[in-house]
Amino acid sequence: MKRLTIIAGSVASVVVAGTLLAVPAIADNGSSSAGKSPAATAPLTATEKRAIEGFLSDHPQLAQALAGRAQAWAAFVTAHPDIAAEIAKVKALPADQRRAELTKWLADNPAARSALKTFRDGQRTQRQQQRQDRRDQRQQRRGAASTTSFGV
């Protein structure tokens, strides 16, 4: 239980730190049907942080997955300080100006756009491979269970 608490706590701190670096609600220009308001980008309250920590301690596999994604993002922005600086600049703008600024900056910086695309594609491919590996493992377990139950 102590290990789960440590994992959840570290993931929560990584997630909170990641929200400082990541791009929450940059695309929110006020026309979203999701009904998000500019307040949706405010820092987490202590109550929200405790709720997240509680949820993650109850779901350790999710906590590990989020920690891995947050670490990958942190490594990416460390390797690309120009992107991290731009994201910080864009986050300082009012919510209705973020999308336009980020779109303009990415159009002016094709290397950054390419790096972000490569990062996202790599993350997507990794998740797809993990899902396929889990499917294959389940199939193998089902096959092994069916052969042992029939005595073959």
pLDDT band at 3 (very low <50, low <70, confident <90, very high): low
Q: Read off φ and ψ for residue 111, nearest 5 degrees.
A: -65, -40
pLDDT in tens, 54-97: 999 999 989 998 999 999 999 999 999 999 999 999 999 999 99
| Reported pTM | 0.61
- What are the boundaries of each domain within the chain? 2-108
CA angle 117, 94, 76 (to 5 degrees): 25
User: 75-114 burial by CB neighbour count: b if 16+ within 10 A, else e?
Assistant: ebbeebeebbebbeebbeeebeebbeebeebbeeeeeeee
Half-sphere exposure of 18 (CA within 13 A, CB side): 17
